[in-house]
Amino acid sequence: MLYDHVDFRVGNVARVRPLYDALLGAMGYTDLHADSESVGYHRPNETGDDAFFWIVHEDGHVPNGTRVAFAVPSRGDVDRLSAIARQNGAREFDGPLLMTEYSPTYYAAFFEDAEGNKLEICCRR
């Protein structure tokens, strides 16, 4: 594992939650820890060795060029999760498509949450 967790900042947690609840829930992060300022997405029965994703309110947050990419095992997963993202508030969609300029097998969808934070779902197979 390359990281322990992602601490993702947003200006309005409630505004972006529908997308993250649906998308991360579909990826198995169904154990939520939330309050008015944040929400953490964990896998059930987490042992402490599992990576997690946390969204935290930050006054004055402004999205930038940083993009978080979620790796999935198959192109079918990219398609399925892209549809879930579209149905739950993702915007500025590009793909899913084969990105041969990245690698011959790189298949991905690129989009933004309701605040303009950049996200991606990708498969390298």
Domains of the chain: 5-123 (3.10.180.10)
Q: Which pLDDT belongs to residue 47?
A: 81
pTM: 0.93
Cβ neighbours of 2 (radius 10 Å): 4
CB 122 within 8 A of CB 78: yes
Q: Which pLDDT belongs to residue 1?
A: 53
Angle at 47 between CA 68 and CA 17, to 5 degrees: 40
pLDDT in tens, 90-123: 999 999 999 999 999 999 999 999 999 999 999 9
Q: What is the mean pLDDT of residues 57-69?
A: 95
